[in-house]
């Protein structure tokens, strides 16, 4: 069957004269449809488990309110215990990929540093674990597993038709974009999410298929009855020029707080990691904490869709906002920290919305002409997301697609950009590790572009005075495997270099060298470097020099020998400065 499909694909390409780019567009359409169906399958799984647990489906907050207090406690704990058992099965089912090379379970790793191959068994069991955590009220997002399943479907399709690693990675990226689009009804933001975070660059050869996959996934999702966007955005009010400064302040605060939110999650993970408990017990403990908090604040259940929609359409008191913010923060930290599988994307939007609404209420109290608090909630979602993901363009597009309002663009852009720069400057945290890795690489490249030779200087051990005898120079040559000795005067002024070839030639010819000294062999026009010489200029010197090292002098006016620079050090710095293509 497989050989028949391969022959059919080859015949079709020859018949229709399709290039690789056209072929990839066709497969991106298929992946977009598959990603939408994977998302729908996960949604239906949550709904069926809700019915199994409580007899009805719908909002998790409404579900929590309908249950007695003791059920609110044990249900998330029991769901966490089952989820932990599924994770144990997932660990046992994991196996290295072909050729002993381990597969990357996470779709970002599979695209960014892997070959696009994702393990089927481990991915499915992790998704089942996520299902139980979410359906039992765990405070975690569902989008993580949705995107994971969509990417897995793309990986399976690509492996089925024997795509090479480069095209397979692109196909998995298309699947991830389809998953994001299906989860948030934001095809443009879904495409930019993958290009900005997963791929790290916008290149048309990859951006085209990703956009096609996102659009097709969105169209497919609209065909399902009952599908609606997760957030019902109100009409954004017009913002006057002066009020933009308030959105700047909101972006600044979100940029400071978003990395701290991620740091809290890391601290909680470390705390749960130190507990001497089996994995199911840890997840049950995380669910238990969430359940106890839901006795007073049922809004901590679920990913927060219904709470955010309520903020956007109903007035809340500042005490209610502060309470739900703190309780939801603790519940999310407990759920994520216990090791539960799910997304942090939606909880991040929740934090931004509640904090933005609180900020808006404060500004409205100080300045009654300020926009309604829900406007700050909408912008706060984007700003907090930009600070947490360090992907401002994706955050701007996502909120814009959700509102479809031109009025939101100016305050949203300002807040997201400010949040991004503040988060990058004040907190070394990002929701996605690959973003931090790229930031570190970029910072290193910028540092290396400004690198001068003084940072690469090593001591010059092979230095002799001008009156050194041939016997003394021969001893140094035997001790150090070098081609040149550097000659200085009594004040360490560089005079030139003595070549091993010249000394060897005299010795082989049995010439009298008893009265010859280093000054008799000096090559005065020997190439030198200076401490303030840039990396690129020094590289040009090495390209015209057949040797492993060059001497460094303080300056042409004061030629004091400062040391040597090795070619290997220079090439290593240059290679790290040049990103891989």
Cα distance between residue 63 and residue 137, in whole Å: 9
Cα distance between residue 302 and residue 79, in whole Å: 13
Q: Please check whether residues 18 and 104 belong to one and the same domain.
A: yes
For residue 54, what pLDDT is reported? Answer: 83
Q: Please check whether residues 248 and 215 belong to one and the same domain.
A: no
b/e 373-412 (16+ beta carbons within 10 angstroms → b): bbbbbbbbbbbbbbbbbbbbbbbbbbbbbbbebeebeebb
pLDDT tier for residue 511 given thresholds of 50, 70 and 90: confident
With CA atoms as reference, report the closest residue to 181 among 157, 150, 209, 160. 150
Which range has the worst mean pLDDT, 86-100, 229-243, 255-269, 477-491?
A: 86-100
Q: Please check whether residues 430 and 543 belong to one and the same domain.
A: no
Q: Please check whether residues 427 and 389 belong to one and the same domain.
A: yes
Cα distance between residue 251 and residue 412, in whole Å: 9
Q: Please check whether residues 324 and 374 belong to one and the same domain.
A: yes
Please say if the pLDDT value at position 370 is more than 70: yes
Which of 448, 480, 496 is the last residue in one of the domains? 448
Q: Which two tokens stand for residue 79?
A: 């769901």
Does the residue 334 lie in any domain?
Answer: yes
Q: Please check whether residues 52 and 167 belong to one and the same domain.
A: yes
Q: What is the pLDDT of residues 77-134, one digit of tens each?
A: 999 999 999 988 888 875 444 444 445 556 666 665 667 788 888 889 989 999 999 9
Does the residue 236 lie in any domain?
Answer: no
Q: What is the pLDDT of residues 33-78, one digit of tens each?
A: 999 999 999 999 998 998 888 888 888 888 888 889 899 999 999 9
With CA atoms as reference, report the closest residue to 239 among 411, 417, 358, 373. 411
For residue 452, what pLDDT is reported? Answer: 66
Cα distance between residue 406 and residue 575, in whole Å: 45
Distances in Å between the alpha carbon of 387 and those of 161, 346, 436? 39, 14, 12
Give yes or no for a contact between 230 and 184, defined as CB atoms under 8 angstroms apart: yes
For residue 343, what pLDDT is reported? Answer: 81
Mean pLDDT of 428-449: 57
Share of the chain above pLDDT 90, in %: 25
Does the residue 234 lie in any domain?
Answer: no
CATH of the domain at 567: 3.10.580.10
Which of 431, 448, 465 is the last residue in one of the domains? 448
CATH of the domain at 334: 1.10.3080.10
Q: Please check whether residues 197 and 264 belong to one and the same domain.
A: no
Secondary structure class of 496 (helix, strand, coil): strand
Helical residues (DSSP H) of 161-240, grouped into ranges: 165-184, 187-193, 204-222
Mean pLDDT of the chain: 83
Secondary structure class of 559 (helix, strand, coil): coil
Is residue 554 classed exposed, middle or buried when 0-12, 13-18 and 19+ CB atoms within 10 A define those classes? middle
Please say if the pLDDT value at position 377 is more than 70: yes
Cα distance between residue 244 and residue 240, in whole Å: 7
Distances in Å between the alpha carbon of 447 and those of 423, 443, 574? 20, 6, 11
Cα distance between residue 209 and residue 190, in whole Å: 12
Q: Please check whether residues 158 and 180 belong to one and the same domain.
A: yes
Mean pLDDT of 383-391: 90
Cα distance between residue 63 and residue 136, in whole Å: 10
Does the residue 556 lie in any domain?
Answer: yes
Q: Please check whether residues 483 and 427 belong to one and the same domain.
A: no
Q: Which domain holds residue 436?
A: 244-276+287-448
Does the residue 233 lie in any domain?
Answer: no
For residue 143, what pLDDT is reported? Answer: 84
Q: Please check whether residues 206 and 256 belong to one and the same domain.
A: no
For residue 89, how far is the Cα from the chain centroid?
28
Q: Which helix (H) or strand (E) holds 497?
A: strand 494-499
Does the residue 83 lie in any domain?
Answer: yes
For residue 200, what pLDDT is reported? Answer: 63
Q: Please check whether residues 414 and 514 belong to one and the same domain.
A: no
Share of the chain above pLDDT 70, in %: 85
Does the residue 405 lie in any domain?
Answer: yes
Which of 448, 463, 492 is the last residue in one of the domains? 448
With CA atoms as reference, report the closest residue to 75 among 146, 132, 143. 132
Does the residue 125 lie in any domain?
Answer: yes
Q: What is the pLDDT of residues 138-190, one digit of tens each?
A: 888 888 888 889 989 988 888 888 788 788 888 888 988 898 888 888 888 88
The structural domain count of the chain equals 3
Please say if the pLDDT value at position 437 is more than 80: no
For residue 382, what pLDDT is reported? Answer: 94
Q: Please check whether residues 418 and 560 belong to one and the same domain.
A: no
Please say if the pLDDT value at position 295 is more than 70: yes
Cα distance between residue 256 and residue 415, in whole Å: 12
For residue 581, what pLDDT is reported? Answer: 39
């Amino acid at each position: 069957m497989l050989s028949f499909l391969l022959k059919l694909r080859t015949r079709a390409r020859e018949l229709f004269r399709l290039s690789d780019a056209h072929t990839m567009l066709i497969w991106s359409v298929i992946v977009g449809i598959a990603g939408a169906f994977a998302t729908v399958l996960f949604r239906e799984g949550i709904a069926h488990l809700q019915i199994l647990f409580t007899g009805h489906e719908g909002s998790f907050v409404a579900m929590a309110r309908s249950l007695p207090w003791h059920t609110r406690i044990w249900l998330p704990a029991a769901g966490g215990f089952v989820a932990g058992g599924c994770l144990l099965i997932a660990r046992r089912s994991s196996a290295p990929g072909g050729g002993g090379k381990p597969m990357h379970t996470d779709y970002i790793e599979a695209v960014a540093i892997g070959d696009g191959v994702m393990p089927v068994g481990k991915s499915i069991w992790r998704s089942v674990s996520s299902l139980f955590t979410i359906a039992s009220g765990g405070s975690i997002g569902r989008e993580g597993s949705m995107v994971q399943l969509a990417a897995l479907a793309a990986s399976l399709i690509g492996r089925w038709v024997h795509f090479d690693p480069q095209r397979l990675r692109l196909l998995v990226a298309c699947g991830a974009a389809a998953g994001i689009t299906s989860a948030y009804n934001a095809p443009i933001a879904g495409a930019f999410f993958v290009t900005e975070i997963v791929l790290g660059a916008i290149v048309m050869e990859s951006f085209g298929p990703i956009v096609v996959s996102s659009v097709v996934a969105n169209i497919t999702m609209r065909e399902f009855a009952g599908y609606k966007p997760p957030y019902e955005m109100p009409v954004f009010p017009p913002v006057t020029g002066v009020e933009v400064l308030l959105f700047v302040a909101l972006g600044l605060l979100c940029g400071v707080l978003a990395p701290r939110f991620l740091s809290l999650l890391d601290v909680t993970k470390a705390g749960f990691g130190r507990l001497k408990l089996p994995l199911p017990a840890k997840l049950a403990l995380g669910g238990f904490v969430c359940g106890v908090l839901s006795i007073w604040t049922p809004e901590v259940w679920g990913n927060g869709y219904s709470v955010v929609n309520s903020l956007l359409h109903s007035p809340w008191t500042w005490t209610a906002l502060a309470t739900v913010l703190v309780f939801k923060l603790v519940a999310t930290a407990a759920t994520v920290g216990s090791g539960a599988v799910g997304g942090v994307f939606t909880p991040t939007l929740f934090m931004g919305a509640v904090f933005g609404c609180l900020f808006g209420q404060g500004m409205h109290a100080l300045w009654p002409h300020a926009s309604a608090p829900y406007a700050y909630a909408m912008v706060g979602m984007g700003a907090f997301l930009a600070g947490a993901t360090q992907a401002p363009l994706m955050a701007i597009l996502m909120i814009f697609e959700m509102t479809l309002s031109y009025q939101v663009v100016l305050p949203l852009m300002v807040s997201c950009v400010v949040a991004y720069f503040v988060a990058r400057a004040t907190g070394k945290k990002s929701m996605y590790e690959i973003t931090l890795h790229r930031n570190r690489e970029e910072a290193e490249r910028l540092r290396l572009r400004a690198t001068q030779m003084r940072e690469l200087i090593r001591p010059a051990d092979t230095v002799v005075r001008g009156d050194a005898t041939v016997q003394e120079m021969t001893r140094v040559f035997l001790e150090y495997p070098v081609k040149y000795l550097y000659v200085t005067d009594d004040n360490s002024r560089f005079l030139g270099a003595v070549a091993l070839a010249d000394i060897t030639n005299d010795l082989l010819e049995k010439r009298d060298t008893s009265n010859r000294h280093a000054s008799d062999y000096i090559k005065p026009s020997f190439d030198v470097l200076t401490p303030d010489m840039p990396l690129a200029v020094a590289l040009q010197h090495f390209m015209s020099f057949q040797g492993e090292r060059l001497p460094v002098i303080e300056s042409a006016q004061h030629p004091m020998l400062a040391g040597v620079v090795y070619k290997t050090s220079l090439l290593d710095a240059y290679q790290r400065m040049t990103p891989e293509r």
